[in-house]
Structure 1
């Protein structure tokens, strides 16, 4: 199986290119952080609030364009908290929409495989009348939690890759 590593977190990894976005951009009150833990994994954690029409927290990673032709899956090695998360990619970082898919966590380490062809276009929670992800290239990866309820969350991330199968 051939892979293209988007990010492999280690104790010495920097978080250059990573940034958080919460619903406070729209007046909400959700908060989050993104940092490397002592084991060398990334930890995305915080509190989702529904106050002031809020309801989401996210972490984004922008990088030079990566060719996706021939890759079939986005693969994540994560340890979650039993909650549902959204994975997002963009062909171009400046696109207004993302291609998204959901995954659920179970409290243990999991290898999540998301078929790229199943990622569908969405903007502000609405599915767009456009084709699903068709390959080409990507310049942005993101994780988001927004389950329409107030909740604390914690997602530990080891590695993010593209897979050929």
Structure 2
């Protein structure tokens, strides 16, 4: 187990949220709305409403960055406080990669440190599984969090930091 870690994003009062992009299902005609903000503790807060109207059903925050070598790590760790709902954590080897590697996490309503081994990130494109190998763990250029549980619902996810372990 690697003792080395690399923080990909640390939320704080000084965090630059312009590094994060919102992708709502409006790209497909949907009406879901998500946003990211900082709370009084400096944590990132991903909130909004998922709508199933007009074939919608998801909203996502994504952070693309210059790809970094990740071969010395074996997992992604997120410190978060959810609302009891499930979220997809996604990674890409580079922002230009057309598909992502996804892993579904369940939140409890309490603070959690969720560690996802690279081997558990499975390839998909627009929600469909691909017959490719799991995330290879060589380089990473994007991290995203998506909610899309096939139901209309409001959500709130508080995030402290995202780290490679």
Shared fold (TM-score greater than 0.5)? yes
Name the structure 2 match of 1:132: 134
> 2 CA distance for matches of 1:119 and 1:156?
22
Name the structure 2 match of 1:30: 32
> 2 CA distance for matches of 1:41 and 1:146?
22
- In the alignment, is residue 101 of structure 1 matched against residue 103 of structure 2? yes
Residues 77-120 of structure 1: CA deviation (Å, up to 9, x unaligned): 00000000000000110111000001000000000000111111
Name the structure 2 match of 1:162: 164
SS in 1 for 2:119: helix
> 2 CA distance for matches of 1:94 and 1:73?
22
Equivalent in 69, 72, 95 of residue 67 of structure 1: 69
Structure 2: gaps spanning 5 or more residues: none
Name the structure 1 match of 2:120: 118
**Aligned alpha-carbon RMSD (Å):** 0.7
Question: Is the deviation greater in 131-140 or in 148-157?
Answer: 131-140
SS in 1 for 2:72: coil
> 2 CA distance for matches of 1:146 and 1:66?
28
Superposition TM-score, scaled by structure 2 size: 0.97
Equivalent in 48, 56, 60 of residue 58 of structure 2: 56
Shift of 1:15: 1.2
> 2 CA distance for matches of 1:19 and 1:134?
25
Superposition TM-score, scaled by structure 1 size: 0.97
> 2 CA distance for matches of 1:12 and 1:4?
19
> 2 CA distance for matches of 1:16 and 1:151?
26
SS in 1 for 2:101: strand
> 2 CA distance for matches of 1:109 and 1:32?
21
> 2 CA distance for matches of 1:74 and 1:3?
10
How many pairs are equivalent?
163
> 1 CA distance for matches of 2:86 and 2:77?
16
